[in-house]
Amino acid sequence: MICKKLSDFSTVILGDRKGPFFTLSFDAVLKKYDRIRQRIAEESTEAAYSFVSKRLKAAQALFNKWLDIYELYARGYATELLTFSYPAAILSLDEFDRVLEDRRPKVFGANISSEAYVLVDDLFANLGYDSDLYVLAEGDSFEKKSVYTEVNTESLKNLTKPVSKKTEIEKTLKHIQNRDISFFYYDGKEYDNALAWPLLLHECLHYLYYTQGLHQLQKRFASVSWAQEALIDIYVTNFFGPAYAVSLANYLYRRPHEAAISYPDFAVRLYISSLYLSKLEEMEKLPESTKHPVKEASDYIKKVLNQYEGRVSAFKKDADEIVEETNRPINEIISKKTQPFVDFVRQTEFERKEAYKVLEKKYLRKEVLSISDVLEYYENGLPVAADPRILFNSFISRKYLMDELSMLFFKESLKKWYVKKAWVRSELDVKSKS
C-alpha cells in the first residue's frame, strides 16, 4: 500500500511498533529482493567472445553486491527501534530496486553486436590500459556510469546507516568500489548501425580522462563549461581518424531533433570535428589513398553542420581557441602510447608495401591492409581482418553510410581481425614457452 502522507504511512503500515504490520513490511521488501536476486542469477553471461562473458560475469557479481547493500539496510532497520522519521526509509528501501532493475536488462540484454566490444577493447589495448573493467549497456544516449556511482546515490547517502549493519555496509561498498565496472551506454536506437560504434570511444575517454592527462589541459579553459567534452573529441579524432567525426555527423543527421548526445550542444562537438578534418585535408603527408575519403567525410560533415549554423556562432570563438591551443599537446599525449591517426595510416602504407615484396608462403600473415585494400575486399564480398581504425575509415564515404551490407561487413571483419589477433598471441605464447 502506498500512502500519500508520512503520518498515513506510519499509522497504516507500522501501527504499533511491536505489531505484525511492522515485521511484514520488512518481510515484503526482503522477499522482493530475493526475487530480484533470482532474476540476476538467471541472466545469461554467454557471449560470442570469452572476454565478453568474463565481463558480464563480473557485472553479475557486482549486481549481487549492489543488492547486498539494500538487504543490509533492510535487515538492519528491521532489528532496530525506528524513530518517527524512519518509516520513510522503509518506503525508500521498497523503491530502491528500481534503478538496479532498470540497469539489469540494459546490461545483460543489450541489443548490440559483440563486435562492438572488439572495437572498444582495441582502444584500451592501444593506450595500454586494462580493459576488463567495463561492459556495454543499452541506453537512451551515449554516456558513462559505473556500478559504484549507481549504488552510492544521493538517496542512499542521505539514509543513516543502521548501527548493526554499518560495518558490513561500508565493507560491501568498498568491495564494489575496488571491483567497479563502468557501463558504457550507447543509444539503443542505433543498435543496428555499426557506424555509431566509434561514439563509444568518447565514453571510454571519460574513463581515461585523468590517466591520459587531459584534465591538465582543461585548466587552461576553466571558464568553458564544456571543455572536457571538447578535449575528449579532439583526442579521439586524432587517435581514431575521420571515421569518428563521421559517426558524430551521421548520428546527428539520423537524430535531427535531438540537440545533443550529452552536454554541450552536439553542434559544438561536430564543429570541432570539422576543424580537424579541414586540417587533415591540408596535410601533405596524408597518403594518397586516404585523401579522397577524407574529402568526402569533410563535405558530409559540413553539410550536416549547416543545419545548425545558428547554434555555432555562440561557441565558435571558444571552440577555435581550444582546438588551436590543445591539438599539438594532445597529439603528444597520444604519441606516448600509440600513433595519432595520420602517422598510423602512413605506417600502415609503408608496411603494406613491404609486405608486397615478400613472396614466401607466409605472405598472408604479414599482409597489412590499407583503406583502398579494405574497399576492394568489400566490393568483392570478402570480409577481411583489418585493423579497426583502417576498417572504419574505409567506410566514411557517403555511399556507405546507410548501406546494410556494409554493417554486416563491419561485424564480420572485426570478428576475423579478433581471431587473427588471437592466433598471433597464441603463437607468441608458444614461442615464449619453447
- What is the per-residue pLDDT for 11? 35
- What is the per-residue pLDDT for 29? 85
User: What DSSP designation does 47 have?
Assistant: -
Angle 213-218-221 (CA atoms, 0-180°, nearest 5)?
160
pTM comes to: 0.83
Domain ranges in the chain? 6-112+151-178, 213-342
Indicate the residue type of 287.
P
End-to-end CA distance of the chain: 69
Indicate the residue type of 243.
A
Query: Who contacts 155 (Cβ-Cβ below 8 Å, separation ≥6)?
Result: 92, 96
User: Helix, strand or coil for residue 415?
Assistant: helix
Positions of the chain with pLDDT under 50: 1-24, 257-263, 361, 363
Find out whether 382 and 408 touch, Cβ atoms under 8 Å.
no
- What is the per-residue pLDDT for 48? 86
d(CA 36, CA 58): 17
Q: What is the pLDDT of residues 423-434, one digit of tens each?
A: 877 766 656 655
- What is the per-residue pLDDT for 64? 95
Which phi and psi (to 5°) does residue 160 adopt? -70, 130
Q: What is the pLDDT of residues 200-234, one digit of tens each?
A: 999 889 888 888 888 999 998 888 888 898 899 99
* Helical (H) or strand (E) element with 139: strand 134-139
d(CA 285, CA 313): 32
Sheet holding 134-139, edge to edge: 134-139, 182-187, 143-146
Enter the C-alpha cell of residue 226: 564544456
